[in-house]
Structure 1
Amino acid sequence: MSQQNNNYDENDIQVLEGLEAVRKRPGMYIGSTGPGGLHHLVYEIVDNSIDEALAGFCTEITVEILKGDVIRVSDNGRGIPVGIHPKEGISAATVVYTILHAGGKFGGGGYKVSGGLHGVGASVVNALSSWLELTVKDGEHVYFQRFERGHYDEELKIIGDTKETGTSVMFKADDEIFESTVYDYEVLLKRLREQAFLNAGIKIVFSDKRDEDNIISETLHYEGGIRQFVEHLNAVRGNEAISGDVIYVSGTQGDSFAEIAMQYNDSYNDVVFSFANNIHTKDGGTHETGFKNALLKVINEYGKKFGKFKEKESSKKGKDAPKKEIESLRKEDVLEGLTAIISVKLTECEFEGQTKGRLGNPEVKPFVEKLVTEKLMNFLEENPETANIIFDKCLSASRAREAAKRAREAERKKNAFGNNSMPEKLADCSERDARYTEVYIVEGDSAGGSAKQGRDRRYQAILPLWGKMLNVEKARIDRIYGNDKLEPVVTALGTGIGEDFDIEKLRYGKVIIMADADVDGMHIRTLLLTFFFRYMRPLITNGNVYIAQPPLFKVERKKNVRYAFSDEEKEKYISELSEGGKHNDVAVQRYKGLGEMDPEQLWETTMDPEHRTIVRIGMEDALKADETFSILMGDKVEPRRNFIEKNAKFAQDLDI
């Protein structure tokens, strides 16, 4: 994008409102006070530096996790304006960090494109930090100001001279606000890598310096931008590209810019990520709809133009005549095996929902649709070999969908009683209102037996799973129907799968996966989450899927029993139950499986709503499970080896 006017000063800082309610209602501004909200603080500060890059004035950003989980973000942009704000009478930099929605993104001319318009901004990060230190270099002087919980005692002051420009922000999240102030390196790395891909050429250096003896640092710098993003996604999942190099199209309309990178691979799953002003629109929106509409239109038009849909000639008539060929593809056919990134950059983004999950700008849909229609058709006509590979892949997906339809119809005929024909192993509940019911999907007959005896039969149903599950990584939907391991799950829930899915038919409001805390249990959880993510996704988006958290230890002394869900809890209970610091009279039992607990224990620890812990699964959890499953169950050895080597250090108490 073109570089803008360098005249960025205190007059560009527009004030919308004050900062009063942030500390009282932090969830309104950052979503939660859990891990998501904590990491959001970092994203907001980094987004300010990214905006400088979008404006053409920043080429390098440094992000550091320092000892004590202090964050420092530095860039070589222009530096926040330090002059006296015409309305507020204090430094413009102080205004940015103390007044909500004050910044250069509200029509003042400081930024043409910004990811932070709908965001919470520097002032909220300041308000939710126990302390924050701001350092600004304007090419002449170094300015400094310190804040504590959003307030300051001293004005912004000069502490030195410099010829450099840029902004550095160091802050410590407030432990009075957040459940934990410990950052997850992998979570931040994923977000920063996205930003580096989405802004081709920018360099982000990310370091974890919390352990002085084990400093981790990565330089994220991708001249290929979103083309490399697509290649990265395929590589980490172990997918093999089948359509040659990444296809890339881009274009502008007024001040708006759109770019799309796409590549087909040998998998049966689609990975389509969309972004607006660098913000991941996880619920899609007008840009994603425009892309998918155009993709379907182009591939269908290509097939018709070059006779790909023609029926095979035959002299046979009547029932012996060959079945009619497919006349057109559907959206799910052209998405199978596709990895794509859609990125738009707009003067003003209209996001639907507080979390910016969906782009609402109506003008973006026809813009993206026209761009992709014209340029993708040109590409296919100029590259007939690649075009044929893509079309054949889509046609194969369409035939598999038809096969799934036939399998579904055969399954319906076999189960003549419909939803009344429940799986043999299902122990159903008496309540029929899904608002009050829950089903435990339990690993193994042994644990299933304990769960059946320990449950509350009024509203808790139990479905045991057994044997080796189908590898959904290597199976299309037609192989799901009739599968003796997954079909009972589908039948019990009552919703159907794929295009037949109907959330209104769900028989249980809570679908709770309950598996052992070992390798096999992890496999069951990951497989089921992947299955739900791919074939019954509304279960997750609607918030119906949960993971049960059975205890890892039973700590007992003289009939005084505690259940520990972590090593830390175990040690805590041992100390509490010990007399005079002696631990030898405290018995500790490590639960390797749910089957080791009797029905009463299983009820008390894992199934009683008054005392249990269950974790609701969101889309991020399901996506992570899907990625993990692709790596572990795919055909490629190298991604699997890398995953195991990277995660081996986190494995504890494995029952192998």
Structure 2
Amino acid sequence: MATSYSSKNIAVLEGLDAVRKRPGMYIGTTDTLGLMHCLWEIIDNSVDEALAGVCTKIRVILHNDGSVEVQDNGRGIPVDTEPKTGLSGVEVVLTKLHAGAKFGESSYNQSGGLHGVGSSVVNALSSRFDVQVDRDGKTHQMQFHLGHPGVYTDTDPAQPSPNSPFKKTRKGRPTELAIVGSVPKKQTGTRIRYWADPEIFNATAHFDYDMLIERVRQTSFLVPSLTIEVENEYAPEDALQIINGEVVNREPADTTVSGENASTYDGQSAVSDADQTADRDLDNSAMESAEPETDEVSTDNLEEDEAVSETTRAKVAGEEAHQLANMPRLQTFHHEGGLIDFVDFLSHGEPVCDVWHITGHATYKEETQQVDANDELHAATVERDCDVDIALRWTSGYDTEIRSFVNVVETPGGGTHVDGFLNAVTKQIRSTMEANARKYKVNLKDSNQKIERDDLSAGLVAVVAVRIPEPQFQGQTKDILGTAQVKPIVTRITNKQFGEMITGSRRGFKVQAQNVLEKISGEMHARIQAHKAKEVTRRKNALESAAMPAKLSDCLSGNDDIAELFIVEGDSALGTAKAARNSTFQALLPIRGKILNVEKASLNQMLNNAECSAIIQVIGAGSGKDFDLSLARYNKIVMMTDADVDGAHIRILLLTLFYRYMRPLIEAGHVYAAVPPLHRIALTGSHKGELLYTYSEEQLSEKLAELDKKHITYDPDVQRYKGLGEMDADQLAETTMDPRSRLLRRITMDDATHADEIFSLLMGDEVPPRKQFIVDNADTFDRSQIDA
């Protein structure tokens, strides 16, 4: 049915009301991510001061009343009057969208936050927002409720609350900045404390401490001159202090930015209580004469659905407080090494080379809108500065980790800076590989033998950062850099410096470059082989695709969903296992003792090793980045080795192979370790013919003591198995292979990072750390836990 439509139907949202009406347009979502996005906007504004070279310290305080405070010792938001609006700089920045110094070139050459858009949006979405600025020897204060300026009357100024009475400044009238303290003339800085509005954010939105720490740590890498502290008031004062990941002893934390630019939050240390009272009374009387109405925070009863939300919100808040109470009281981050430290932090596994560092500066021209003398916007061509900072390294694995940033804003989707970097690296590696084709076994006549980006990105860890004024992002969430002029600059700088590194012409890079090129060449050959294998698999049955190793005793085809591959140690165990297995679904592949340690070997060495290549061929799903779990011929891969130290060593070597080149098998829970018994106890007397098995010396002692206590007799000559081959087929089936009675240990990826570190430590090239590990753990070593 048609309805009338006239001018009275048009709603005009003024000021920050539009933000509260459509918050998703500004912060993406109103859940946890949106809540954290507000904090990023405030932190980024402080970081921009550090990028401008005028801030050395930022402190983020998680108050135990649910509010968050960000302090910095930058220049402080301007407190003088902005001539066009007649408002103070503080009020303009915090109440006007698209207002701030970062839209021009006079104050910020590079910035991440859009000063005025971010801060004003956070202000609009906060039930209370307080700001204090140290400038000109004074501490200036302004307060807001739902984005509207005014004055809160707190019962206890040391315990501010969004529920305190609030008097709003009359519409259209500038708000006077309250002077709440005095500071030294040279002291400057900004302190912002806000309470997120529960009416905006949904009931399940919660503060993510881990996300904050990750963001702060990341920023400390990007701005090496900056120290960032995170104080958590939920934790006890004597809780841990952590500096760059290291636990240190500490005194109870001071909640102010230390050093020359320091001031308490409420300014009470700088002026007397009487002076504050007088100032507050004057402000209140002036306010009352202008606008007698008082906007009190509403305490109306909630509707039933709102009550449900409040119950959920209270539960989430309780869980959040409990989580924060178990976190460190104070964490400090400062990384003078910058991106080099960042790449080192992100690297896992054995490094193929050192961290390589690329830096450079260039200028470019860009057409943009500039304000002329008549305050009108006109198109103008301006010259921009672009600083490029890149750190990269290859590791022995095949996972790729490329992090990219513009100023301090992460760009998860990449953009023109990442495209320029990858284009240059690809070009240089291809040309170097072609120039050394014989050395790296590249057939230039074969069009398939060409380095692709996947080959060079395997094991690559890189951080690509550029600093430019007024970057163009795709959307307010800033996921992708769109400034086109950045791409050729990054390409040119990377081409020159990376080219000198990868060719070995730069001093100290020759051996490292060879290691990198060997790895990339190996990835290329592995990709080509995997592609050929896939093509064959598409045409033929897996058993017909290629000649399987002669030593493979396969199971019947058609049982892939339940098929099991037992990797058996030695030919003697193979004979027993053949008689013990169920050939319908159990296959056997013997290996000759200890296989190649792939942690120390190159990709080519691994592929040329008979045992490793046989395992990869039999499983049938490829290796490395080309591993396809859906092509695996077996549902379970079972490592069946002797229950001794040598057997445990073989399991570690096999696990290293699976972890490095067939990791999805472990991630999906398809890899197992058989648990054969160590001892056999033959019962006598009334229990004659019964056998008991134990799996450790401790368990044997306990079992014998139990039998003695129950007066059950047994043959005192307890058999100790030296290997699987000593078992009868029936015993091996019962204890190790029959699904109805066997014991298997599933290998999981619950702690992949820790597993990676242990593999690198125990199986890598670095001998001193391994030696130190053995020395440190010799006294507490438990042989029974060798692969627990």
Aligned pairs for 1:443-592 (under 5 A) are: 475-478=624-627, 480=629, 482-484=631-633, 527=667
Q: Does 1:341 align with 2:490?
A: no
Contact 2:449 2:524 (C-alpha < 8 Å) held by counterparts: no
- Supply the distance in 2 between the matched residues of 1:629 and 1:346 (Cα, whole angstroms): 39
Contact 1:311 1:325 (C-alpha < 8 Å) held by counterparts: no
Q: Which among 5, 27, 32 is matched to residue 29 of structure 2?
A: 32
Q: Which among 72, 77, 92 is matched to residue 75 of structure 1?
A: 72
- Alpha-carbon deviation of 1:409? 0.6
Q: Which among 250, 268, 282 is matched to residue 359 of structure 2?
A: 250
- Supply the distance in 2 between the matched residues of 1:423 and 1:133 (Cα, whole angstroms): 68
- Supply the distance in 2 between the matched residues of 1:207 and 1:474 (Cα, whole angstroms): 46
Q: Does 1:305 align with 2:435?
A: yes
- Supply the distance in 1 between the matched residues of 2:526 and 2:756 (Cα, whole angstroms): 20
- Supply the distance in 2 between the matched residues of 1:247 and 1:91 (Cα, whole angstroms): 48
Q: Does 1:176 align with 2:199?
A: yes
Task: Give 2:554's aligned residue.
Answer: none
- Supply the distance in 1 between the matched residues of 2:235 and 2:201 (Cα, whole angstroms): 22
- Alpha-carbon deviation of 1:638? 9.2
Structure 1's 336 and 378: CA in aligned 2 closer, same or farther, altered over 3 A?
A: same
Output one character per residue of 1:457-483: Cα deviation in whole Å (capped at 9) or x when no partner. Answer: xxxxxxxxxxxxx9x998442464621
Equivalent AA in structure 2 for residue 100 of structure 1:
L
Structure 1's 67 and 222: CA in aligned 2 closer, same or farther, altered over 3 A?
A: same
Equivalent AA in structure 1 for residue 334 of structure 2:
H
- Alpha-carbon deviation of 1:396? 0.7
- Supply the distance in 2 between the matched residues of 1:24 and 1:311 (Cα, whole angstroms): 63
Equivalent AA in structure 2 for residue 527 of structure 1:
E
- Alpha-carbon deviation of 1:413? 1.0
Structure 1's 263 and 143: CA in aligned 2 closer, same or farther, altered over 3 A?
A: same
- Supply the distance in 2 between the matched residues of 1:160 and 1:526 (Cα, whole angstroms): 61
Task: Give 2:645's aligned residue.
Answer: none
- Alpha-carbon deviation of 1:108? 5.6
Moved more, 254-263 or 327-336: 327-336
Task: Give 1:291's aligned residue.
Answer: 421
Contact 2:52 2:110 (C-alpha < 8 Å) held by counterparts: yes
Structure 1's 195 and 635: CA in aligned 2 closer, same or farther, altered over 3 A?
A: closer
Task: Give 2:350's aligned residue.
Answer: 240
Equivalent AA in structure 1 for residue 196 of structure 2:
A
Structure 1's 99 and 311: CA in aligned 2 closer, same or farther, altered over 3 A?
A: closer
Equivalent AA in structure 2 for residue 206 of structure 1:
V
Aligned pairs for 1:259-298 (under 5 A) are: 259-298=389-428
Aligned pairs for 1:386-425 (under 5 A) are: 386-414=512-540
Structure 2 residue matching 1:634: 3-state secondary structure: helix
Q: Which among 134, 156, 162 is matched to residue 177 of structure 2?
A: 156
Structure 1's 526 and 172: CA in aligned 2 closer, same or farther, altered over 3 A?
A: farther
- Supply the distance in 1 between the matched residues of 2:469 and 2:103 (Cα, whole angstroms): 10
Q: Does 1:375 align with 2:488?
A: no
Structure 2 residue matching 1:406: 3-state secondary structure: helix
- Alpha-carbon deviation of 1:102? 1.5
- Alpha-carbon deviation of 1:362? 1.0
Equivalent AA in structure 2 for residue 269 of structure 1:
D
Equivalent AA in structure 1 for residue 233 of structure 2:
K
Output one character per residue of 1:371-427: Cα deviation in whole Å (capped at 9) or x when no partner. Answer: 1110011123222101100000100110111111012112211369xxxxx99879x
- Supply the distance in 1 between the matched residues of 2:216 and 2:622 (Cα, whole angstroms): 28
Aligned pairs for 1:317-328 (under 5 A) are: 327-328=449-450
Structure 1's 132 and 371: CA in aligned 2 closer, same or farther, altered over 3 A?
A: same
- Alpha-carbon deviation of 1:153? 1.8
Equivalent AA in structure 2 for residue 265 of structure 1:
T
- Supply the distance in 2 between the matched residues of 1:481 and 1:425 (Cα, whole angstroms): 11
- Supply the distance in 2 between the matched residues of 1:22 and 1:638 (Cα, whole angstroms): 51
Contact 1:79 1:166 (C-alpha < 8 Å) held by counterparts: yes
Task: Give 1:385's aligned residue.
Answer: 511
- Alpha-carbon deviation of 1:160? 1.3
- Alpha-carbon deviation of 1:20? 2.9
Task: Give 2:213's aligned residue.
Answer: 189
Task: Give 1:226's aligned residue.
Answer: 339
Structure 2 residue matching 1:257: 3-state secondary structure: strand
- Alpha-carbon deviation of 1:628? 7.2
Q: Which segments of 5 or more consecutive residues in structure 2 lack a partner in the other structure?
A: 1-13, 152-175, 240-327, 364-384, 543-557, 563-618, 637-662, 670-747, 763-787
- Supply the distance in 1 between the matched residues of 2:749 and 2:517 (Cα, whole angstroms): 26
Q: Does 1:57 align with 2:54?
A: yes
Contact 1:44 1:119 (C-alpha < 8 Å) held by counterparts: no
Output one character per residue of 1:85-126: Cα deviation in whole Å (capped at 9) or x when no partner. Answer: 101111111111111121111116221111123994100111
Equivalent AA in structure 2 for residue 362 of structure 1:
A
- Supply the distance in 2 between the matched residues of 1:305 and 1:46 (Cα, whole angstroms): 49
Output one character per residue of 1:250-283: Cα deviation in whole Å (capped at 9) or x when no partner. Answer: 1111211111100111111110011112111111
- Alpha-carbon deviation of 1:630? 4.1
Alpha-carbon RMSD: 3.5
Structure 1's 628 and 120: CA in aligned 2 closer, same or farther, altered over 3 A?
A: farther
- Alpha-carbon deviation of 1:140? 1.0
- Alpha-carbon deviation of 1:182? 3.3
Structure 1 residue matching 2:522: 3-state secondary structure: helix
- Alpha-carbon deviation of 1:287? 0.6
Aligned pairs for 1:89-168 (under 5 A) are: 89-107=86-104, 109-117=106-114, 120-154=117-151, 155-163=176-184, 164-168=187-191
Moved more, 211-220 or 49-58: 211-220
- Supply the distance in 1 between the matched residues of 2:430 and 2:517 (Cα, whole angstroms): 9
Contact 2:134 2:188 (C-alpha < 8 Å) held by counterparts: yes
Contact 2:71 2:191 (C-alpha < 8 Å) held by counterparts: yes
Contact 1:280 1:357 (C-alpha < 8 Å) held by counterparts: yes
TM-score (norm 1): 0.61
Q: Which segments of 5 or more consecutive residues in structure 1 lack a partner in the other structure?
A: 1-16, 314-321, 417-421, 427-469, 488-522, 530-625, 641-655
Count of aligned positions: 434
- Alpha-carbon deviation of 1:223? 0.5
Task: Give 1:207's aligned residue.
Answer: 231
Equivalent AA in structure 2 for residue 483 of structure 1:
A
Moved more, 472-481 or 207-216: 472-481
- Supply the distance in 1 between the matched residues of 2:361 and 2:523 (Cα, whole angstroms): 33
Contact 1:404 1:481 (C-alpha < 8 Å) held by counterparts: no
Contact 1:23 1:127 (C-alpha < 8 Å) held by counterparts: yes
Task: Give 2:715's aligned residue.
Answer: none
Structure 2 residue matching 1:288: 3-state secondary structure: helix
- Supply the distance in 1 between the matched residues of 2:634 and 2:559 (Cα, whole angstroms): 11
- Supply the distance in 2 between the matched residues of 1:87 and 1:63 (Cα, whole angstroms): 33
- Supply the distance in 2 between the matched residues of 1:295 and 1:119 (Cα, whole angstroms): 38
* Percent of aligned pairs sharing the same letter: 36
Contact 1:51 1:114 (C-alpha < 8 Å) held by counterparts: yes
- Alpha-carbon deviation of 1:347? 1.1
Structure 2 residue matching 1:178: 3-state secondary structure: coil
Task: Give 2:694's aligned residue.
Answer: none
- Supply the distance in 2 between the matched residues of 1:525 and 1:151 (Cα, whole angstroms): 57
